Chains A and B, each alone.
Chain A
């Protein structure tokens, strides 16, 4: 319990310090409120618009989670395929790298033309942005397997699949999880990009759209929405770190702390 409090203290102190500095700056510099609202104004906007923000937030959160799922599925599948086939590696890898340079608005309309105004085109955009770190880290992780391990498995009569299942796959898992964490960090902004660059019919909900609409005439509310995205990214990251302890417990170095 004490330990938990002590752990939470540094980020709390730092956040409080930054918020204080921000508040002071707004107070002293006289910067206009629709250019930079003070933290207390943002907090007030967050509270007053909680219903609106929350209902938009749930839409965006769903996009992030599903989009990341799609990104993971694509990234991992491609990584395994590339690992197993040098031919595929040569064919696919350059295209995967190139795909990261595509400005999303260029394909936004096309995606909607294919899949309509619903959530799916947005998931595709998020996946396009997020699969890449998963792909690269997993490919490297698979290649970094101790070559003697598959060798050992061969003398135990393991098939190619069993060697993969017992050696390469678990050995690449920590790297893949690192990739997933990077993907997660860009996934939230990916959802924002997805919402604001794919055409929508009427009022498709979502925090991204809400923030873009608000930024000009309801700046504190735009900031309040941003605070939600900010907190959501941290929460997701933390969840994944906890999950990692269960999925790949061997990769967590013991810190030598008494338990």
Chain B
């Protein structure tokens, strides 16, 4: 059951039905009563997620916010099929993960890292590079094709990781705090860039962040998780036109609501 205090809105209740295979085929994400834990040493276990039900329509951008350790990364790994849930069901079209750490491969150049998914799909090195090149330039990485990851700044590394994620061509993107390591200015630029890119090239996105403002600026819907074990304690529809400005009254109002929900979850 969701935590007391924050009632699940009725409009959400209607969404919480058993996912059917058709929905998956239609590109919809559906989690139903998902629970997942980890075994630690000496028989101890830690429950990361509990009774999480969640949906995302095709092309929707859903932001997931919640305190550290509440199971956000776990949620994305379940969607990507890297783990199977202990309980409940997960239906998700093919999803690609942009991990919390950028995980660029140190032995590949920046461009080859971006093109990794294409190489894996069987393209030759040259073809993969050509295909990755234009996106690379769009991300403002021109001139750094041959740089190795450790020669890039934190922001550049994240952009390369993002290019790699996009180039996988999968319909669902699971972004785990993609802009976490960036300074405020670069972060703002990247948020704009992400919004533009998605406007052009529609994908379903699960965006994990602990920055509530970022969630509201980017998402169609914001899901708030409680502290561990993570449960859905609130869902906010962000029905605002884009581009959104962080100082807008509506944006700040929604931010306050989300922060209230988080604070309530922390007390519960």
Q: B120 near A156 (CB under 8 angstroms)?
A: yes
**Taking A166-B105, A170-B105, A248-B107 as contacts, is the C-beta distance between A157 and B120 under 8 angstroms?**
yes
Is residue A213 within 8 Å, beta carbon to beta carbon, of the partner chain? Answer: no
* CB neighbours of A166 from chain B (8 A): 105, 108, 116, 119-120
Distance between B78 CB and nearest chain A CB, rounded to angstroms: 12
Given contacts A167-B105, A250-B148, contact A151 B121 (CB under 8 A): no
From B25-33, B96-104, B207-215, B238-246, the one touching the partner chain is: B96-104
Interface of chain B residues 89 through 146 with chain A (CB within 8 A): 95-97, 99, 101, 103, 105-108, 116-117, 119-121
Interface secondary structure of B, over-half rule: loop
Using CB atoms, name the residue of chain A closest to B102: A152
Chain B's nearest CB lies how many Å from the CB of A207? 39
User: Does A185 touch B at the CB level, under 8 Å?
Assistant: no
Q: Tell me which residues across on chain A come within 8 A of B121, comparing CB atoms.
A: 157
Q: Smallest distance from the beta carbon of A259 to chain B beta carbons, Å?
A: 13
**Total A-B residue contacts, Cβ distance less than 8 Å:** 49
Q: How far is the CB of A139 from chain B (nearest CB, A)?
A: 19
- Cα(A53)–Cα(B142), bound, Å: 57
Q: A156 contacts B82, CB within 8 Å? A: no
Determine whether the beta carbon of B96 is less than 8 Å from that of A156: yes
Residues of B within 8 A of A149 (CB): 103, 105
Which A residues lie within 8 Å of B116 (CB)?
Answer: 153, 156, 166
As a 0/1 sequence over residues 164 to 191 of chain A, the CB contacts with chain B under 8 angstroms (1 = contact) are 0011001101000000000000000000
**Interface size, B (range):** 20 to 34
A interface secondary structure, majority? helix
Q: Which residues of A contact B163 (CB under 8 A)?
A: none
With a cutoff of 8 Å between Cβ atoms, the chain B residues found around residue A249 in the complex are 148
**Contact in complex: A152, B148 (CB < 8 Å):** no
**27 A–B contacts, CB within 8 A, in A order:** A146-B103, A149-B103, A151-B99, A153-B116, A153-B120, A155-B80, A155-B81, A156-B96, A156-B117, A156-B120, A156-B164, A156-B168, A157-B168, A158-B120, A162-B120, A166-B105, A166-B116, A166-B119, A166-B120, A170-B105, A170-B107, A173-B107, A248-B107, A249-B148, A250-B107, A250-B148, A250-B150
